[in-house]
Amino acid sequence: MIAHRLLPALLAASIALPAGATIVIAPRLGAPDPGPLPGERLAVSFDAANAAGFVWDGAPATRIGSVSGQAAAPAGVTGRFGFVSTQAGRPRIATLRTPALNSISFYWGSIDAHNRVQLLGTAGQTLLTLDGNNFTPANGNWSATLTNRRVQFRALGNSDIGGLRFIARGVAFEFDSIAANAVPEPSSWALLIAGFGLVGAATRRQRQPMVRVPAR
Which distant-in-sequence residues (6+ apart) come within 8 Å of 208 by Cβ?
Answer: none
Burial class (CB in 10 A: 0-12, 13-18, 19+), 176: buried
Angle among Cα 11, 154, 57 to the nearest 5 degrees reads 100
213 or 114, which is more confident?
A: 114
Distance CA 163, CA 195 (A): 31
Q: Across residues 157-168, what is the average pLDDT?
A: 93
What is the CA 196 to chain-centroid distance, rounded?
Answer: 30
Distance CA 93, CA 105 (A): 18
Distance CA 154, CA 179 (A): 12
Whole-number pLDDT of residue 8: 37
- CATH topology for 23-184 is Jelly Rolls (2.60.120)
User: For residue range 165-190, what is the model confidence (pLDDT) as tens digits?
Assistant: 999 999 999 999 999 999 986 544 34
Residue pair 163/95 in contact (Cβ under 8 Å)? The answer is yes
Which distant-in-sequence residues (6+ apart) come within 8 Å of 33 by Cβ?
Answer: 74, 75, 76, 77, 107, 148, 150, 176, 177
Distance CA 179, CA 152 (A): 9
Cβ neighbours, 10 Å, residue 100: 16
Q: Across residues 64-91, what is the average pLDDT?
A: 97
User: Can you give the C-alpha Rg of the chain in angstroms?
Assistant: 22
Q: Across residues 74-95, what is the average pLDDT?
A: 97
